[in-house]
Structure 1
Amino acid sequence: MRWTVHGERPVYENRWVNLWLANVETPDGTRFEHHVVRLRHLAVAAVVNDRREVLMMWRHRFITDTWAWELPMGLVEDGETPAEAAAREVLEETGWRPGPVRPLVYAEPAAGITDTQHHVFRADGATYEGPPTERNESDRVEWVPLAGVGAMIDRREIVSGATLVGLLRILADEAFR
């Protein structure tokens, strides 16, 4: 069943987040205003080395006041492809230059409220270039064994949706080889 959008109007807009109200009608004829959060698209990179380890960052998220492991990720900038953004973010946030990135999985994490797109890529291997240039991203960068990822998820050491989607896809691909 398809909803009809009769129009939209911005409530708040800036470079990071935009809040809109959409005038919608549900299939039963009910009409109301629905909040829509419009966000820039996200690029994520799962870099895996030949020892079956994935490059991850230990970081604090002030909004939830939590620490957890995450894959390198960031917003896709104007004029940049998601693949370019993923490779750039790995280098900036970790100091490692990833091998060629290829699409791993695409996700829309909360399509009922936001239009954000998450483009998750995989790179096999990376070359260390030096310390991260983004100094405010993480406390440490490490190669984490894929074999331990499930237990880390169970312990809530990995909670980021984009990170979970990427890692679970890698684990699923390996399980079905």
Structure 2
Amino acid sequence: MRWQVHGERPVYENSWVNLWLVDVQQPDGRRWEHHVVKLRHLAVVALVDDQKRVLMLWRHRFITDTWAWELPMGLIEDGETPEQAAVRELEEETGWRVGAVKPLIYGQPANGITDSEHFVFRAEGGTYVGPPAEVNEADRIEWIPLSEIRGMIDRREVVSSGSLIGLLYLLLDEPV
């Protein structure tokens, strides 16, 4: 069953988050204004080395006041492809450079309320080029064995949706 959109209007807009009211009609005929959060899209990258380890960041998220492991990720800038954003964010946040990434998985983590798209990539054979340019992103940057990822997820040490879907899909591809 498809909902029909009759129009939309912005309530609040800035460069990070936009709140819109969308005039929708449900299949049963009920019509109302639904809140929609419009966000810039996200690129995520899983850099895997030849020892079957993935590069991750230990960071604090003030919104939920939690610490957790995450894959390097960031917003896709205007005029930038998701692949370019993944390569840029990896280097800015970790100091590791890759020449190319390949698509791993795509997701829309909360598509009932937001239009956010997460493009998750896999990279291999990175080169360390120096300390991260983004000094406020992570408390630690470490290579984590893929064999430990499942336990970390079970202990809620990995909770961001971009990291979760990327790591779980990575585990499907990589026997550990």
Aligned residue in 2 for 1:168: 168
Aligned residue in 2 for 1:119: 119
Aligned residue in 1 for 2:150: 150
The answer to whether residue 135 in structure 2 is matched with residue 135 in structure 1 is yes
Aligned residue in 2 for 1:77: 77
Per the TM alignment, residue 118 of structure 1 is displaced from its structure 2 partner at its CA by 0.3
- In structure 2, the gaps of 5 or more residues are none
Distance in 1 of aligned mates of 2:98 and 2:165 = 19
SS in 1 for 2:174: helix
Distance in 1 of aligned mates of 2:168 and 2:123 = 15
Distance in 2 of aligned mates of 1:125 and 1:110 = 32
Letter in 2 for 1:14: N
Distance in 2 of aligned mates of 1:52 and 1:98 = 17
Per the TM alignment, residue 99 of structure 1 is displaced from its structure 2 partner at its CA by 4.2
Aligned residue in 2 for 1:90: 90
Deviations 1:98-151 (A, max 9, x none): 242000000011111110110000001210000000000001101000000000
Letter in 1 for 2:57: M
Letter in 1 for 2:141: V
Identity of counterpart residues, as a percentage? Answer: 69
Aligned residue in 1 for 2:45: 45
Distance in 2 of aligned mates of 1:34 and 1:108 = 18
Aligned residue in 2 for 1:17: 17
- In structure 1, the gaps of 5 or more residues are none
Distance in 1 of aligned mates of 2:147 and 2:29 = 51
Aligned residues: 176
Letter in 1 for 2:131: P
1:93–1:137 contact (8 Å) kept in structure 2 = yes
- Cα distance change, pair 100–72 in 1 and its aligned pair in 2 (3 A): same
Q: How does 1:48-67 map to 2 (within 5 A)?
A: 48-67=48-67
Letter in 2 for 1:116: S
Q: TM-score, normalised by structure 2?
A: 0.98
SS in 2 for 1:22: strand
Q: TM-score, normalised by structure 1?
A: 0.97
1:99–1:124 contact (8 Å) kept in structure 2 = no
Letter in 1 for 2:50: D
SS in 2 for 1:86: helix
Aligned-CA RMSD value = 1.1
Deviations 1:60-92 (A, max 9, x none): 000000000000000000110000000000000
